[in-house]
């Protein structure tokens, strides 16, 4: 099977459950507090491992107790951690996440060791990019270094997937041209293109504008409506699976990992989106980031029962 190289952040999530998000200047009581392994990169690596992919992770953590919580979680998912940078001087990245009763979240990041994912660090690990492999990257580590990594991966013959989260101020055209799949959610798509994304028609128009700038395929995650794919042959919406929303943290990460794993297995894009939607749908029924990611058996079971029903 093709290797999946996930490049990105590692965080410990400090998760506060609240009835409603606090308003500006307001002090509120929380319902609960949890410390959970997270970070968009680590979540995607963990999900690749749990969904049966062969994952190499490029990331950085501090040599502290928090870093070990993330690496232990990834080791349990079978991720290759041999290239993860462990730094004595810098603390592991952190995220403070508030989740309300509707399962919606607000996230504040302390980058910490994620800032050590520099161009130099990726260059030192560029030998793991082989023709046919898949690079999956997000933007919680320094973006300039990710742009360079994507261009290098493309030149090395990899398939490149960019999950532009959190949304950058802009994406250079040369990077878009090196991206095979870009996977924003509606909010990120609006930020990247400067276009409205309130309706499916608007999402489609904004996605087309990214295709026109050179992106191979634009795959927009649109929450309970599923995902919209836009490529040279047009646009279509792939509906997702019914699921009771408890916490959407890491749903996008699980979707991206599902897409990468299924493509690595040689599935068609349609099948890959179906598996990605199923994995993400299960993840929103559970609390937390890496704690919410389903196993491949659970995803296959959902796909099977949807087919039979
Ligand atoms: O995508 C979810 C992740 O975003 C959380 O785990 C948090 O660490 C932030 O990086």
Point out the ligand 1 atom lying closest to the alpha carbon of residue 11: 8
* Structure-token pair, residue 187: 């909010």
Whether the bond into 57 is cis, omega within 30 of 0: no
Cα 108 to middle of ligand 1, angstroms: 9
What's the mean pLDDT when you consider all of the chain?
A: 97
- pLDDT on residue 1: 75
C-beta 92 within 6 A of ligand 1: no
Point out the ligand 1 atom lying closest to the alpha carbon of residue 37: 6
- Asked if the model's pLDDT at residue 211 lies above 90, the reply is yes
The CATH class for the domain spanning 3-308 reads: alpha beta
Whether the bond into 166 is cis, omega within 30 of 0: yes
C-beta 250 within 6 A of ligand 1: yes
C-beta 67 within 6 A of ligand 1: no
Residues recognised as catalytic: 253
- pLDDT on residue 307: 86
- Asked if the model's pLDDT at residue 29 lies above 80, the reply is yes
C-beta 43 within 6 A of ligand 1: yes
Residue nearest atom 9 of ligand 1, based on CA coordinates: 39
Cα 72 to middle of ligand 1, angstroms: 17
Q: How many residues does the chain have?
A: 309
State the pLDDT confidence band at 206, using cuts at 50, 70 and 90. very high
Cα 84 to middle of ligand 1, angstroms: 18
Nearest to 5 by CA among 134, 125, 127, 126: 134
- pLDDT on residue 188: 97
Cα 249 to middle of ligand 1, angstroms: 7
Residue-wise pLDDT tens digits, 241-255: 999 999 999 999 999
Residue nearest atom 7 of ligand 1, based on CA coordinates: 39
- Asked if the model's pLDDT at residue 100 lies above 90, the reply is yes
Cα 149 to middle of ligand 1, angstroms: 21
C-beta 188 within 6 A of ligand 1: no
Q: 0.85 exceeded by the pTM?
A: yes
Q: How do 54-58 and 234-238 pair as beta strands?
A: unpaired
Cα 250 to middle of ligand 1, angstroms: 6
Residue-wise pLDDT tens digits, 113-137: 999 999 999 999 999 999 999 999 9
State the pLDDT confidence band at 294, using cuts at 50, 70 and 90. very high
C-beta 249 within 6 A of ligand 1: yes
Residue nearest atom 2 of ligand 1, based on CA coordinates: 250
Q: How far is CA 189 from CA 74, 252, 300, in A?
A: 29, 13, 30
C-beta 257 within 6 A of ligand 1: no
Q: How do 159-162 and 134-137 pair as beta strands?
A: parallel
- pLDDT on residue 309: 75
Alpha-helical segments (H) within the chain: 40-50, 65-76, 119-124, 143-155, 173-177, 186-193, 200-212, 251-264, 269-283, 296-308
Residue nearest atom 10 of ligand 1, based on CA coordinates: 39
C-beta 247 within 6 A of ligand 1: no
């Amino acid at each position: 099977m093709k290797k999946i190289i996930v490049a990105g952040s590692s965080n410990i999530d400090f998760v506060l459950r609240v009835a409603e998000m606090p308003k500006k200047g307001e002090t509120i009581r929380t319902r609960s507090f949890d410390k959970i392994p997270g970070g968009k990169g680590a979540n995607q690596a963990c999900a690749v491992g749990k969904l049966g992919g062969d994952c190499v992770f490029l990331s950085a953590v501090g040599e502290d107790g928090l870093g070990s919580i993330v690496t232990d979680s990834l080791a349990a998912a079978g991720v290759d951690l041999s290239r993860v940078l462990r730094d004595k001087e810098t603390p592991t990245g952190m995220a403070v996440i508030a989740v309300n009763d509707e399962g919606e979240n607000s996230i504040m990041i302390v980058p910490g060791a994620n800032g050590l994912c520099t161009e130099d660090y990726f260059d030192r690990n560029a030998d793991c990019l082989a023709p046919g492999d898949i690079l999956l990257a997000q933007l919680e580590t320094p973006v300039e270094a990710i742009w360079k990594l994507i261009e290098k991966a493309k030149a090395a013959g990899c398939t490149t997937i960019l999950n532009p989260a959190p949304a950058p101020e802009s994406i250079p055209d040369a990077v878009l041209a090196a991206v095979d799949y870009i996977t924003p959610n509606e909010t990120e798509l609006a930020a990247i293109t400067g276009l409205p994304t309130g309706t499916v028609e608007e999402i489609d128009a904004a996605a087309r504008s990214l295709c026109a700038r050179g992106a191979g395929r634009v795959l927009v995650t649109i929450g309970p409506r599923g995902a919209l794919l836009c490529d040279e042959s047009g646009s279509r919406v792939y509906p997702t699976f019914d699921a009771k929303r408890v916490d959407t943290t890491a749903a996008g990460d699980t979707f991206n990992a599902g897409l990468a794993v299924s493509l690595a297995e040689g599935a068609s894009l349609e099948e890959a989106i179906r598996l990605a939607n199923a994995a993400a749908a299960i993840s929103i029924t559970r609390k937390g980031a890496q704690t919410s990611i389903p196993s491949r058996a659970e995803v296959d079971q959902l796909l099977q029962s949807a087919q039979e029903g």
